Amino acid sequence: MKTKTPRWRKTSPLSYFLLATITFLSIFPFYWMFVVSSNTNAEISKSPPSLIPGGRFLIVAKKVMSAEGVFFSNALLNTFIVGIAIALAQVMFSAVAGFAFAKLNFRGRKSFILFVVGTMMLPSQLGIIPLFMLVKNLRLIDSLLGLIVPALVTAFGVFWMRQIIDAQIPNELLEAASIDGASVPRIFISIVLPIIRQSSFVLGLFAFLAAWNDYLWPTIILQSPRHFTLQVALTQLKPMYGLDYALQMGGAFLATAPLLILFIFVGRRLVSGVMDGAVKG
C-alpha cells in the first residue's frame, strides 16, 4: 500500500489514452481537409474512402486561387490587413484606457468600469442593425474600413488590460517614478508599456484571430468579391461549383494554414493567455 507516489497523484494509462483520443479528434479535421483536397471526388466517395493524402493538392490550390469571381489571394491580403489593423488598434486603445482604469484616480472611474463590464453581458447582435445603418451613413459599406472601424475598441480588451496592469505593475514603481518628476504620459510610455509588452502581444493575437475568423459582420457589409475576407470568400467556393468537395476543402485548408503556422509559434502563449483570463476559484 505504501508507494512513493501518493495515490491521488497517480496517472493511469487511461488518462493518456483519453488525451491521445482528444488529440486525434482535434487534429483529424485538418488532416481530413488535406486528404479530401488532394484526392479526386471518386477516391473520397468510395467506401471506405481513401484516408491518405493524394497528389492533387497543388492542382486544387491553383484552382482555388484562380477560381472565377472569388479572388482568393485578394481575400488573403484583405484578411491580413483587417486583422493586423484591428489587433494594433485594440492593443493601443485598451492599454491606454486599461492603465487609467487600473492606476489613475479620476472622477467617475469606478462607474465607468462597472458600465463597461455591464455592457459585456449584452449579446453583440443586439446593436447590429443600427451599426449597419451607421456604417452605411459613414459610407464605409463594402470597404475594409467598415470592418476595422467598429472593431477598434472592445469592452473585453479594456477590461483585460486593466486586470493585467493591475496585476503586473506594482504601485510603488509608479509612485517612485512620479516622485522623480515623471509625468503620467511619460510613465505610461517608459514604464508601463515595456512591462505589459508580452500581454499586449497576447491580446493582439486574440484580436487578430477573432478578426480573421469573423463571418457575421463581413457578410453583412461586404458586397463586391474583391473586398471579401477569407471567410466570406470561402462561402463563395460552394454554390458556384456544386458539390466539389476538393475545391471547398482546399479553400478551407488554405484559409486555415496561416493560422496553424502562426499557432506553432504562439500556441503556448495563447494557452497562458486563456488561463490567465480565467476566473479563479
According to CB under 8 A, which residues from 191 to 210 bind another protein? 209
Q: According to CB under 8 A, which one of 1, 3, 11, 224 is a site residue for another protein?
A: 11
Binding status of residue 25 toward another protein by CB under 8 A: yes
Number of residues counted as binding another protein (CB under 8 A): 108
Which residue type does 72 have?
F
Sequence-separated contacts (24+) of 24-30 with Cβ below 8 Å: 30/253, 30/256, 30/260
Distance CA 116, CA 109 (A): 11
CB of 58 to another protein, least distance (A): 20
Per-residue cell: 60: 486544387
| Stretch of 1-9, 60-68, 139-147, 196-204 lying at the interface with another protein (CB under 8 A) | 1-9
Judged by beta carbon, residue 104 or residue 240, the one nearer another protein is: 104
Which of positions 84-113 make contact with another protein (CB under 8 A)? 93-94, 96-97, 99-107, 109-112
Distance CA 265, CA 33 (A): 22
Distance CA 219, CA 86 (A): 17
Distance CA 37, CA 174 (A): 56
Q: According to CB under 8 A, which one of 13, 185, 194, 242 is a site residue for another protein?
A: 185
Which of positions 54-83 make contact with another protein (CB under 8 A)? none
The CB density around residue 177, as the number of other CB atoms within 10 Å, is 17
Q: According to CB under 8 A, which one of 1, 52, 261, 278 is a site residue for another protein?
A: 278
Which of positions 146-175 make contact with another protein (CB under 8 A)? 149-150, 152-153, 155, 158, 166, 171, 174-175
Q: Per-residue contact track with another protein, 223 to 262, x per CB under 8 A?
A: -------xx--xx--x------x--xx-xxx-xx--xx--
Which residue type does 23 have?
T
Which of positions 113-142 make contact with another protein (CB under 8 A)? 116, 119, 121-134
CB of 178 to another protein, least distance (A): 5
Instruction: Report how far apart, in Å, the C-alpha atoms of 221 and of each of 215, 216, 264 are.
Output: 10, 9, 32
Q: According to CB under 8 A, which one of 1, 2, 3, 48 is a site residue for another protein?
A: 48
Distance CA 218, CA 227 (A): 10
Which residue type does 261 have?
I
